Structure 1
Amino acid sequence: MMLKTQTRHAIDPATARTLDTDQLRDHFHVGGLFAAGEINLVYSHYDRLILGSAVPAGGSLTLDAVAATGTATILERREMGVLNIGEAGTVHAGGESYTLETGEVLYVGMGSGPVTFEGAGRFYVLSAPAHQSHPTTLIRLADARRVELGARETANERVIIQFLHPEVCQSCQLLMGYTQFAEGSVWNTMPAHTHDRRMEAYLYFQLPEEGRVFHLMGEPAQTRHIVMANEEAVISPPWSIHAGAGTSSYTFCWAMAGDSVDFTDMDMIAMGDLR
C-alpha cells in the first residue's frame, strides 16, 4: 500500500495578491488524486482539514497513522467523511463494514481506529479535528437533503445534496455534500460569498476529459482564477470567495470546517463589488 501525504500552509490575503499562476496552484490547487493502489492526502493548515483520496482498485488500502496529525491513528482526535465517486466499494471502520454505492457518503466518528477501503470504489476522503465522537453513519442518496436552486436563464440550475449537515447526520465541525448542475448550467456559488469562520474545499468531478472549470478565488476586490480539470480539488481560505464556471455541466463536492456548522452562515458579496 502506498500512502502519499503533503502539507499546505496557510496564506494570508496580502500574500495571495502577489502570487502568479504557478504559485497560486502550488498553494491552493490539488491534482494527482485518485491514483490506483494509492492513498493521497493533503494536510491543510486552514482549520486543519485533511482532504485526499483512496483508490483500492479491487484490492485493499488501510488508512491508519498519518505523521502530520501526531496521533497513533488518524481518527484518534478526528472525524471523517468519505464520498464514493466510483463503482460500489466497501469501507471498514470501527469493526463494521459499509458498502458505498456511487454518490453515497460515509461519516466515520472520532475514535473509530484504522479505516480500510476495498473494491472498485474511488473514495474522496475528508477529515477535520473533532471534540467528541458521533456514530459512524452511512448516508444513502435517499437519506440526503436535496435543495433545488437556480434557473436555466442564469446558467445555474442545480441541486445541492447535503450529507454531513445538521438536518441529516450529526458531526462536530465537518460539513459535506455535493452540487449537481442541469445540462447547460455552468455557474456555481454566484453571487459569491465568504465565511471567515470556516474554510472550504471543492472537488470537481463528472467533468468531461477536455472540460475545465474556471474556479474563482481571492478577496472580493482582488479575484484570481485557477483552471480545474476533472477530479481535481481546490482549497478555499476563509477570507476567499469560492465560485466558478465550467465549459459544461459538472458536479462538485464541497466540504467545510471551522466554527460554524450552519450551512447558510455566509457573508454575501454584491455582484457590483467583485473585481
Structure 2
Amino acid sequence: MRYLPNAATTSRMTTEELRASFLVSDIFRPGEVRLEIVDLDRVVIGGAVPTGAPLRLEAHPDLLAEYFTERRELGVLNIGGVGTVTVDGTRHLLGRKDVLYVGRGSRDVSFESADAKDPARFYLVSYPAHASHPTTVVTQSEAQGATIGALETANRRRVARYIHTAGARSAQLVMGVTTLEPGSVWNTMPAHTHHRRTEIYLYFDLPHDAIVLHLLGQPSETRTIVVRDGEVALSPGWSVHAGCGTSAYSFCWAMGGENQDYADMQPVDISTLR
C-alpha cells in the first residue's frame, strides 16, 4: 500500500522523497504481474509481461477479495507486442495501443503474449466499482480522438479516449492515450488540477536515453521529478500534472473519482505558476 503525502508535506520533500511518493517504477517485469495499491481513491496500478505460460491476475491480500474484480473494474492497455487477455474464458486480442475494459464481477483474468520474443506489455489500472459494465475491447482505430495543440507551443498531440461516457462504459474509470507529434514535447500546458478526481500518467514510447520532466504540486509550490519510459506519475486532485520531454513520446492518462466529466478541471494561469 502506498500512502501519498498532503500538499503541505510535499512542499518540504527532497527529490528522493518526492520520487518515493509520486513515482511508480519497475512494473513491467518479464514473466510477472506486478501490482501496487495506492490510497488515492483506492486505485491499483500494475503491469503484466507474459513471456511463457499465461499470467493470471490474482487478488492482492490487501483487497480482501475472493478475486481481483469482485468489487473492481479494470482497464488494460497494451504497449508492447500483440497479446491476449482472457476474461472468464473469452479471449480478447489486443494489439499495440488497444485497450480492454474488464467489468466488475469478472472472476478469471489472464494475460498471454502471441510471441514471447516480442511480448505484450499490459498496463493495468483498476478502481473500485459500484456497478457492472460489459467487458469491451476498444482498438486504437476505434478510440474517439482529436488533434490539439500547436507546433509553435511544442504541444501538437493526438488525444484518444477509450474508456469514457461515449466509449467503453465504466463505473468511474476514465482512460485514454495521448501521442505527441515529432517536434512537440509538452503534454499539456497551461496546466490544470482535478479537485474531484485523481489522475495517473504512464509515460511510454520514450527512447532509452530520453526523459520527461514531470511537474507536480500546488500551482504556487511546483516540484519536478524525472520520469523515464514505462514509469508512472501519480497526481492527487490538488496537484498540477504536466510534463516536458527531451523527445516526443506517448502517455496513458487514467482518472477516477466523483465523476467522469472529461472537462471537469481547474485551469491554472501560467503567470501564477511558481
In the superposition, the TM-score normalised over structure 1's length comes to 0.96
The CA RMSD over aligned residues, in Å, is 0.8
Look up the match of 1:77: 71
Aligned counterparts, 1:209-248, within 5 A: 209-248=208-247
Distance in structure 2 (CA, Å) of the matches to 1:199 and 1:42: 16
Look up the match of 1:204: 203
Does residue 82 of structure 2 align to residue 56 of structure 1?
A: no
Amino acid at match of 2:257: G
Distance in structure 2 (CA, Å) of the matches to 1:114 and 1:267: 39
Look up the match of 1:37: 31
SS of residue matched to 1:143: coil
Tell me if structure 2 keeps the 8 A contact 1:62–1:117: yes
Identity percentage of aligned residues: 47
Distance in structure 2 (CA, Å) of the matches to 1:95 and 1:263: 33
Look up the match of 2:261: 262
Tell me if structure 2 keeps the 8 A contact 1:143–1:168: no
SS of residue matched to 1:47: helix
Kindly state the Cα deviation for residue 248 of structure 1 after the two structures are TM-superposed: 0.3
Distance in structure 2 (CA, Å) of the matches to 1:261 and 1:92: 27
Distance in structure 2 (CA, Å) of the matches to 1:108 and 1:258: 18
Distance in structure 1 (CA, Å) of the matches to 2:199 and 2:154: 23
SS of residue matched to 1:185: coil
SS of residue matched to 2:42: coil
Once the two structures are superposed, residues 157-194 of structure 1 have per-residue CA deviations (whole angstroms, 9 ceiling, x without a partner) of 00001000111111010000110000000001210000
SS of residue matched to 2:96: coil
SS of residue matched to 2:68: coil
Distance in structure 1 (CA, Å) of the matches to 2:160 and 2:234: 20
Distance in structure 1 (CA, Å) of the matches to 2:124 and 2:161: 16
Find runs of 4+ consecutive structure 1 residues off by over 6 angstroms.
Answer: none
Kindly state the Cα deviation for residue 114 of structure 1 after the two structures are TM-superposed: 2.4
Distance in structure 2 (CA, Å) of the matches to 1:144 and 1:87: 19
Kindly state the Cα deviation for residue 66 of structure 1 after the two structures are TM-superposed: 1.1
Tell me if structure 2 keeps the 8 A contact 1:214–1:227: yes
Amino acid at match of 1:245: C
Look up the match of 2:4: 10
Look up the match of 2:18: 24
In the superposition, the TM-score normalised over structure 2's length comes to 0.97
Match of 1:105 among 99, 102, 107: 99
Work out the number of aligned pairs and report it.
269
Q: For structure 1, list consecutive stretches of 5 or more residues without a partner in the other structure.
A: 1-6
Distance in structure 2 (CA, Å) of the matches to 1:42 and 1:66: 9
Aligned counterparts, 1:168-179, within 5 A: 168-179=167-178
Look up the match of 2:116: none
Kindly state the Cα deviation for residue 249 of structure 1 after the two structures are TM-superposed: 0.2
Distance in structure 1 (CA, Å) of the matches to 2:154 and 2:52: 39
Distance in structure 2 (CA, Å) of the matches to 1:38 and 1:80: 18
Distance in structure 2 (CA, Å) of the matches to 1:183 and 1:145: 21
Tell me if structure 1 keeps the 8 A contact 2:4–2:22: no
Amino acid at match of 1:268: P
Distance in structure 1 (CA, Å) of the matches to 2:187 and 2:95: 25
Distance in structure 2 (CA, Å) of the matches to 1:132 and 1:202: 25
SS of residue matched to 1:22: helix
Amino acid at match of 2:217: G
Amino acid at match of 1:74: F
Amino acid at match of 2:89: G
Tell me if structure 2 keeps the 8 A contact 1:64–1:113: no
Tell me if structure 2 keeps the 8 A contact 1:55–1:121: yes
SS of residue matched to 2:40: coil
Tell me if structure 1 keeps the 8 A contact 2:155–2:184: yes
Look up the match of 2:147: 148
SS of residue matched to 1:27: helix
Larger strand share, 1 or 2: 1
Kindly state the Cα deviation for residue 95 of structure 1 after the two structures are TM-superposed: 2.5
Distance in structure 1 (CA, Å) of the matches to 2:208 and 2:147: 27
Amino acid at match of 1:25: R
